[in-house]
Every structure is written in C-alpha cells, then in structure tokens.
Structure 1
Amino acid sequence: MMMRSQVNSQIRKVARSYGLEITKLTPCASFYKSNSAYKADTKQGTFLIKPFIGSEVKLRRITAYMKRLENEQYPYMPSWRTNLAGTMWIRKNNKLYYVTDWIDGQQLGEAEQDYMRVGKALATLHAKSIRIRNWKPRNVLAEVNQLRVQNHKFLRRLPFLQNNRTEQGKWFKLVGSHCKLMAEEACQILDQPSTARKLKLARLALVHNDVTIPNIINSVNQLYLIDWECSYVGSIYYEIVRALANTTLFNTGKINAFLTEYTKFRPLDKQEKMIISALFRLPREVWYLGLHSNRGSKSTLFQIVRDTWSKRMEAIHWVDEWAKA
C-alpha cells in the first residue's frame, strides 16, 4: 500500500499526463472508501482524478461509451478529459486512472422538480442507441432470470431467517410471506405472453447502472450523473426501477415527477409499463438483506427497509395504477 506522499506524487504524475499542473489536491470520500477519488485544482481548472478499480478491458469499454455520448452531445455527464497520448484513460505504476471535469453543486433535494430532471436525464440516455463493436450487450431475459434466481435463494433461506430470535427475525416472520407473494405476482406479469414477447424483443440502450443520490449532482442550471464505471448496454426497465428505489425512497410524488418527465422524452407503451410495475414490486433489498445478513446483526440497510416498508407498499400500488392507466 502506498504512503500518502507516494499517492499524491502518483496523482500529480497522472495530472501531468493530461497537461495539468496541480496547485491543490483534495481526497474525496465515497460510501466505501475515504480516498476513492481526488479533486485537483490546477492552473487549467478544477478536475476529478479517479483511480479505476477493474480491468483495462472494462475501462476501455466505458471510455468508448463516454466518447460516444460526448460525440452525441449528451449533456448530463461531466466531460471526460483526453490525455496527451490521445486517450481518455492512463496507466501509471500498473494502476488505471481517468480524469473528468469537476462538477460543483448539491445532491438531489426534496423538490419534485429535481426528480423531473433525473427522469429527463435517464430518458435522454435511454433514447440513444449506443453500441460498441466487439462488446456484447447484456440480455434482458438473462437479467430477469437472475432476479428469479435471487428470489429462489431467498425463499430457501427464509425459514432460517424467520427462526432467528432477533429484531430482524421477527420482521422476516412478519413480511416473509408477503415477499413471496410479491415475487409470484411479478413473475405472473412477466410470464404473460405479450409481456414476455416485449422482453424478448426489447431494444437495448446504454444504462448508467448506478443512479443513486450520491451519483447525482444538481448544478446551478443543470443536473449531472457522475460515476459511470458500472455502465453497460442492457435493459432500461431495470434501470428505471432501481433509480426510483434508490432516489425517491418510495415517495409517490417524486416517482410521479420522475416518470412523467421520463415518458415525455422516451415514451413507454402498455407492455413496457407492465414490465416496470412487475420489476418494481420485487423486494430486491429484502433479498439482499436476507442473503447477506448475519444472525443477530443490525444494519443500516435493515433499518431503511423496515422503516420504508409501508411507503414501499403505497408506491407499488401507485406504480400498478400508473401502468394500467
């Protein structure tokens, strides 16, 4: 592990590879790490320098996506900088890095107008047809089948969870059968011939794949999606569902604002809305909690899932009615 002085020296070398001379370097924390990126004040402006955790092949793919989006003038992302060698990424001492413009702003607020902006940003992204030669997109049906596998694993573990004499165990006793019913109802919708046909023929698009509150920045007159490291070509339906769950905390006013603006820029037909309603009712966070929690342990995720459960039920009902309208 490199010392702090070594890390700073390394980041300065990366900056010089982009023609930048750092005057001030500030570590930026993420949910998982205290120095996941660096704010670099330079003579040429302010930038984000990000170490990339992953393979060179993956980073090449992501930078290819970003270049395509920039060429199509997609406005809801920070600009990725090109280094002196003409690429959007660089390797230094066997570590990968990339550099983007630094975005000043605030995190997503409570105003419904903010969620309209998120809906528009995602719809604009999903309306674009982004394909990169030699990189295969993810199959939509395969993604749905992965969700079915997660449900199956959860149901196998559920009796063990319900036997725990803990607060979590009591809660799983209370909601376990309901979670099973929710998944069954979702599968019934997805297995309907018209819905299954739509899934099979679904047009794929580039998805951000990590639309969360920390990855959304509200600037003065613009919203930005940051941290595109998980992006890939796949299903827009699952992205919509995850974005709603991760940002709105099941507030129906925010969900309405998001979907109303989204459908203005990327209309959804009846079958697509039914797919979204089915995926939205899947208790994905409960599955994760059940499959990864330890006996008697308490977690922030458990508290969030428990405290938002009634709002989740209201939101599921709202999305069901939206899909039927």
Structure 2
Amino acid sequence: MANPLPQSRVRQIVRRFGLIPLRTDSVASYYRKNAVVRVQTENGAYAMKPFFRSNLLRTSTIDQIKAAADYIQLLMNHDFDSMPKWLASHTGKLWTLHQGRPFYVCPWINGRRMESQEDFEKLGRALASLHEASRLPSPVKGPFYSHIRLWQNQDRLFRRQTAKASQMNKRFRRWYKRYGASCNRISDRSWAELKSPEIAGLLEKEMTCPALIHSDITPQNVIIADDGQLYMIDWDRVKPGSIYVDVANALMNTTHFNPVFIHSLLKGYEELRPFDPAERQLISSLYRLPREAWLAARFPNRSRSRSMLDIMEETWPLRLKAMEILDEWA
C-alpha cells in the first residue's frame, strides 16, 4: 500500500471480521510505509494486513492467499501457538477481498525484539514446533525447491555480472575486488557439499514428507510478547519447503553472527527435533552462501544494494567466524 487506506474503508473491511473499530492507524515495516493497520476495539487491538503477492511464484494473488489461508488453518488446527491466529470473516474464510486486494486480520501483538539467549532458544523451539506440526500428507512439486534453485540462479547471475565488473560503478568494483573471489570460493564449497549423496538424499526425502516453512524469519517478524510468549508474524510467505532452508535463513537473518545466539537457536530447535550429522552439514552449507552479495549485484546502483555491501564489509570477520561455528557444530 503506497498510501494509507481511508478510515471508512478500514472500518468496512474489519467489520467483515466482526470487529467494531474505535481507532485505527497505519504502521510501517522495514520495506513498506503502510504495511499494516492497527485497529483498536473495545476487546483489544488487531492487525489488519494487506496480502502481497510473491513475484517468485507464477500463481495469482488470489491463488496465493487461498493457499496461505489453507496452511494457516492447518497450523491453527494443530494448535500451533507461536503465530497470531487469523480471524474468520463473515463468509467463514480467513481473508476478505476489498477492491481487488486480499486482507486478513489477526490479534495485534505487543512486545519487544529478541535480545537474550533465552529468546533465541524460544525461536528455535518455535521453528521446530512449526516444522513438526505441519507435515503434509503428500509430496510437493515445484515451489518446494524454490529457495535453493533461486539461490543457484542468483549465484550464476552474480558470476556473469561480476565478470564485467569493470562496467559497474566504482563502489561495487572496489567491493568485488576485495571480497568477490572469497564469495565464489565459499559458494563453490557449499554447492559441492549439497551435491553429496547424503545431503541430496535428505532433500529428496523432504519432498515425500514436506513441512510448512515461514520463509521470512527476520528480527522484525519475531516478537516476544509482554507475557513472554514468542510469536512469529507476517505469514504471507508460508508454504511447503525445506526446513533446513528455514533454519539457515533464521540463523543468518536474526543472530547477527553472535555465537551465543547461534548456539541458542540451534539448542532450542534440537530440544524438540535433533539433527543428524548430514542435516547439520546441510544447514551449515546453506548458511554459508553469500546471498546478500548476489542480491546487491543485481542492482548495484540502488541504495539498498549499497547498504548490503556496506553491511557485508563491516561484518565480514564476524561472518567468517560464524561459518566456522556452524562448521564445528556440523
């Protein structure tokens, strides 16, 4: 939503979910100025969120919200408690359509960001609970491998683009001269490990017994509520996928390369679902991939790409140390 919805439209939408709003206000996210509307009622606060289509999938917005709502219903049926429950609309669906855009509503979670060893253990347990509670009854085709296939394509594009680094801006050329070869060596090692029979077998096995993954675990999408309960929010990208990708993403996006947080997240996860040696190696291999560099190379003149490169440069020693920690754990 580029502009905030008028309050009259907000009221019209939330009334379909049985809510009578007293006050509403738009709240920004990291990427969008008006990402969600906070709706205050006599019975508490709720989040009214527009559903945004994923460009990585070829299906329509309606098909994607239908699939997401089915997955959310499955999690609610399994009493998964680390997710705000979506409200049913007057039609019985977990979403409603307004002027061509789907919206859904869930309780507003007041709380704070993760900041302690205990918080990261909670995140690990929540992820393990998600992956164990959402095993699907049939094999998955197509979107299951989207993350790994996407990363392979991004790596190939990165190497093609950087082969012409002289044509890029000075900022990127300087960065690539210092870190490009290391990124490629790290990637080569990971891709070689992912081709090993043990790991290839794990990925093949997952397709016969898939689980749901959140797909977007970031610090902004994890809240420690006032009562201490951990909630993962923003479930627009929930889908069948690799639990190993979900764990590797969570480690990369949330722990800030802090060894204590890395071990805490893994400890919490393995309290509910221990990993065998091959699974540990798979997670370590996926964690190592320099995905920010690949994204930045696609649009080197964008400010966000420059920020990515700056962050990678500032954290490079910490990243290498974190890779060593994951290697030792594996």
TM-score (structure 2 length as normaliser): 0.90
CA shift, 1:255, in A, is 0.5
| Corresponding residue number in structure 2 for 1:197 | 201
| Letter of the 2:205 counterpart | L
* Alpha-carbon contact 1:77-1:225 (below 8 Å) kept: yes
Whether the 8 Å contact between 1:52 and 1:96 is mirrored in structure 2 is yes
Residue 215 of structure 1: aligned partner:
221
Alpha-carbon distance in 2 for matches of 1:214, 1:297: 17
| 1:62 aligned to which of 62, 68, 88 | 68
The aligned counterpart of 1:320 is: 327
Partner of 2:6: helix, strand, or coil? Answer: helix
**Which AA in structure 1 matches 2:292?**
E
1:11 aligns with 2:24: no
In the alignment, which residue of structure 1 is the partner of 2:57? none
Which residue number corresponds to residue 36 of structure 1? 35
Q: Secondary structure at the match of 2:133?
A: coil
Alignment-derived partner of residue 19 in structure 2: 20
Give a deviation string over 1:46-86, Cα, whole Å, max 9, x none.
11111222311111111111111111110100111112221
The yes-or-no answer on 1:138 pairing with 2:143 is yes
Matched, 1:87 2:99: no
The equivalent of 1:52 in structure 2 is 51
**Matched pairs, number:** 320
Whether the 8 Å contact between 2:143 and 2:241 is mirrored in structure 1 is: yes
How far off is 1:129 after superposition? 3.4
CA-CA distance at 1:226 after TM superposition:
0.3
Aligned to 2:318: 311
By how many angstroms is 1:121 displaced?
0.7
Shift of 1:134: 11
Cα deviation, residue 18, structure 1: 1.5
The answer to whether residue 122 in structure 2 is matched with residue 106 in structure 1 is no
**Residues in 1 aligned to 2:78 and 2:20: alpha-carbon distance in whole angstroms:** 30
Q: Any stretches of 5+ residues in structure 1 without a counterpart? A: none
Deviation at 1:135, TM superposition (A): 7.8
Query: What SS does structure 2 have at the residue aligned with 1:308?
Result: helix
TM-score by length of 1: 0.91
Q: CA separation of 1:158/1:14 partners in 2, compared to 1, >3 Å: closer, same or farther?
A: same
**Whole-angstrom distance in 1 between the partners of 2:280 and 2:6:** 48
Instruction: Quickly say closer, same or farther: Cα 1:295–1:224, change in 2 above 3 A.
Output: closer
2:281 equivalent to 1:282: no
RMSD, aligned α-carbons: 2.3
Moved more, 232-241 or 53-62: 53-62
**Cα deviation, residue 149, structure 1:** 2.1
Does 2:133 match 1:128?
Answer: yes
Return the offset for 1:128.
2.1
Give the percent of matched residue pairs that are identical in Structure 1 and Structure 2.
Answer: 31
Measure how far apart 1:296 and its partner are: 9.9
Amino acid at match of 1:193: P
Q: How far apart, CA to CA, are the structure 1 residues paired with 2:228 and 2:41? A: 24
Distance in 2 (alpha carbons) for counterparts of 1:213 and 1:231: 17
Q: Does 2:159 correspond to 1:155?
A: yes
Partner residue in 1 for 2:234: 227
In structure 2, what is the equivalent of residue 188 of structure 1?
192
Match of 2:123 in 1: 118
1:133, distance to aligned residue in structure 2 (A): 8.2
CA distance in 2, matches of 1:126, 1:78: 17
Q: CA deviation at 1:301?
A: 1.6
Moved more, 65-74 or 299-308: 299-308
CA apart distance, 1:123: 0.8
After superposition, give the CA deviation of every residue in 1:222-241 in whole Å (9 maximum; x if it has no partner). Answer: 00000000110010111111
Three-state SS of the structure 2 residue aligned to 1:127 is helix
Is the 1:190–1:275 Cα contact (8 Å) retained in structure 2? Answer: yes
Q: Quickly say closer, same or farther: Cα 1:134–1:17, change in 2 above 3 A.
A: farther
How many Å apart are 1:308 and its aligned residue? 1.0
- Rounded Cα–Cα distance in structure 1 between residues aligned with 2:173 and 2:186: 19
Does structure 1 residue 74 correspond to structure 2 residue 80? yes
